[in-house]
Amino acid sequence: MEFKLTFDGDNATQKAVAFKSFVDEQRVSGIESVEVEQTAGKPGDQGIGTFLGSIITKLTGSSETIKSLVGVISKFLELFDGHLVMEDGKGGKVVIPGGKKLTPEQIENIAVTFSNRK
- Look up the pTM and report it: 0.79
| CATH number given to 2-39+50-115 | 3.30.70
Question: What pLDDT, in 10s, does the model give residues 56-80?
Answer: 777 776 778 888 888 988 888 888 7
- Asked if 18 and 32 touch (Cβ cutoff 8 Å), the reply is no
Quote the CA–CA distance of 14 and 89 in Å, as a whole number: 23
Taking each helix axis as running N to C, give the angle between helix 63-77 and helix 12-26, from 0 to 180 degrees, rounded to the nearest 10: 130
Residue 18: Cβ within 10 Å count: 16
- Domains of the chain by residue range: 2-39+50-115
Chain segment 18-70, per-residue pLDDT in tens: 888 988 898 888 888 888 876 555 555 555 555 566 777 777 767 788 888 88
> Are the beta carbons of 35 and 85 closer than 8 angstroms?
no
